[in-house]
Structure 1
Amino acid sequence: MLRNVFRSQTLRATRPAVISPRALAVSPLAQRSIRFYSEEAKKEAPKAEEAKEEAAKEENSEPKDELTLCKEQLEAAQKERAQFKDHYLRAIADFRNLQESTKREIKKSKELALKSFAKDLLETADTFEIALKTLTKEETSDTTKKLKELDDLVEGVQITQNMFLNALKRHGLEPIEAIGEKFDPNVHEATFEVPQPDKEPGTVFFVQQQGYYLNGRVLRPAKVGVVKGED
């Protein structure tokens, strides 16, 4: 009895397991995964081979000695130096060209400004010429004629002065208004002091020489007489 039981258990242990067809069936997802990994393996295979070949080449190549490395570093440094030198020379050339062009522009601007100012002065010179032509050099005893010529001369000089001042103003030159102003050493130059009972001390009451501004800055201070205070 016991022998038969032992024999049956031994046969069960040694009998191969039977796998059903359902167990052997693979799902579509698993099949797709298997195909993907196989394709990736095919793609990676050439890369692995190339890496192996490069590694073999590096192993077979002879190591560079110190002299060769120094020569290569020296050549690289010389190339870099040549590039820097080229950039430096180009920068110097550009800067010099800029300097020359700037000088030409400044000179041209000065010439244009002088040309415009000269044209305005020519109008004043023309007016002077017309005023002088109205005067006759002939001596005459006609007092009325002389007075008329004198009046014409005064009128011509006034017109010329106005034209001249307008020309100066167009170019940034303006007279300094000094009469009745408080004395300012920045724009006035006191030439004398006189006490004036009816005027405030320290104010300008007389202009000896007209002063001018040029573009808002003092070109020439006005020479003035100042009211002296009671000391």
Structure 2
Amino acid sequence: MQRAIYNSLVKSVPRAAVSLRAAPRSSVLAFQPFTGVRFNSTKAEPEVKATEKEAAAETGANENASEATEAAEEKSQETILQEKLAEKDKALAEMKNHYAQAIADFRNLQQITTQEVKKAKDFALQKFAKDLLESLDNFTLALGSVQEETLKANEEVKNLFDGVSMTRNVLEKTLERHGIEKIDPMGEQFDPNQHEATFEVPQADKEPGTVFHVQQLGYTLNKRVLRPAKVGLVKDVEN
């Protein structure tokens, strides 16, 4: 049985070869046995070109994507730098404001310190001056207690009176040089800021509120009342 199959195959080989030699090239290629590779050149060339186009397109897309990424990164860095610059400008403006405020505060402090020093200097003698005013009051009382007739009749009393009067005048001038001035409101209108009313007397020939008697002289220290003057006022007759 095997021998018969082998003989039939041998007889058929020359005929198959003849038929292959006589057949066209295209049909031969079409009927070649499959070996894993296609030899159809008409279809392979377009496929290669399409592959090359796809690769070129993919390369261009990759390049465009890379450029877009670089541009985005550059833009991002520029935005970050702009934000940092804005923060620096804001910090600089705040620093300038603090500096200007510090200068203003320092100048105000200088002015306040200067004023305080001036006040301390102007009124440093306030307590001492008040003590001296009592001595002036005593001199005034002593001189006011001497009668004019006594001065004319007694030369020694007159000399003593003149000496006490000169001492009082020297003391008053010394106080004036240090800003202490006398308040003598005789005949003036009552001023509650400088005068202290101790009594009132009605007088028809004088305007109500007029000082007609000075019980105690007042004094100011650098234009500030050190002691008000004690006075007697004219009272309204109808009241």
For the superposition of Structure 1 and Structure 2, which TM-score range results when normalised by the shorter chain? 0.3 to 0.5
TM-score of the aligned structures, taking structure 2 as reference length:
0.44
TM-score of the aligned structures, taking structure 1 as reference length:
0.45
* Bigger radius of gyration among the two: 2
